[in-house]
A and B are shown apart, each in its own frame.
Chain A
């Protein structure tokens, strides 16, 4: 189980695709104008990662090294296209809101990176878990960044939730700041860069504090687990 715990830690924190690997920046920066858009794209990316990692893991033994990359690309493109069609059919409004960024999941480097770095060397279950955790780590960053930008930019949180969760979710919108005039910078692309920079900085501060605490604690077990997770 330690293995699974390490995978979880890698995806959510230590090797987070958005905060550490800095992959998938195009969708990350473009769709995080609201929480719901970020969440929608995050979930679609997560499903893609689970399915692509699973598929790559199943076929890893038949795969010849020289055709590895084209096969990965084909697997990912087929899965993303299938997801795009499914979203168009079943969550049409979200599909319209996310637009071009669904097909662009194909170009999210974190997906091919996980296929190459993890799924092509590991069994089915750990690979799918890795996809899930990496996807979840990516989604969490999208949601946090989306929250920051939506609250700062338009003073609301979870606006238009109905495009993801159906009509009942229309009332989920929280008006954080009444009578807010809006802060344009947060909505525009620079707001995304600044927001992501702040998040990366916060993560690094937490890591630095953690490392300091570990060094002061002379227990070798904790330090060992830390080193293993970072490897």
Chain B
């Protein structure tokens, strides 16, 4: 009985040792990979020449259920050039997708124009609503360069609702949710611009804007 228990404990110990050893050996590389993947995504919408800080660690957590689509806090990545704010990348949710919330990446230049929008994760219908994803169509690029004033309030809808953004044949709900979420994010930004760039975690030794 005791021997059986000791045997089981020994196997548990060996298994845990294997996992711990592997974790130790790969931890750094995994962290590097995750940072590289994030940076690649961020650089796809924030031009590299716009900033020279470490954008992946210059972050701030912000919460706004009304404007950012989640009661949980979301991450804001801040791009600065020589310590001066240049752009911010927010990660809001479009809570009213066809099949659950759509997680977005919204990059806004300091002056409030959109640098770009990407879908981080979504469960929209394959072949219909998933056209919001850049790997399927370029639809999401139609946000580039727009701002709260361009178009005006009425224009921030899909065409079917009188706005300027395309919907897809057979799928209006997904693009409608994304347009609304991007619009809300811009409204949030216009109200909280200064707070977004102040406080939070700044990179070690980095200047504060």
Contacts and interface: CB of A to CB of B under 8 A. Distances in A.
B22 A82 contact: yes
B138 interface: no
Contact of A75 (B4, B15, B23, B29): B15
B18 A82 contact: yes
B29 A90 contact: yes
Contacts of B39: none
Interface string B9-45: 0011011101100110010011001101100000000
Given A81-B19, A96-B37, A188-B126, A88 B30 contact: yes
A79 B19 CA distance: 8
26 contacts: A62-B7, A64-B7, A67-B8, A70-B8, A71-B11, A75-B15, A78-B14, A81-B19, A81-B22, A82-B18, A82-B19, A85-B19, A85-B30, A86-B26, A88-B26, A88-B30, A88-B33, A89-B26, A89-B30, A89-B33, A90-B29, A92-B30, A92-B34, A92-B36, A184-B126, A184-B127
A158 to B, nearest CB: 16
Given A71-B11, A89-B29, A78 B23 contact: no
Nearest to A72: B11
A182 interface: yes
Contacts of B19: 78, 81-82, 85
B194 to A, nearest CB: 35
B15 to A, nearest CB: 4
Given A64-B4, A67-B7, A92-B33, A74 B15 contact: yes
B22 A85 contact: yes
A187 B128 CA distance: 12
A131 B14 CA distance: 21
A204 B37 CA distance: 45
B103 to A, nearest CB: 14
A71 B34 CA distance: 33
Given A62-B7, A85-B23, A77 B15 contact: yes
A66 interface: yes
A187 B19 CA distance: 35
Interface in B20-76: 22-23, 26, 29-30, 33-34, 36-37
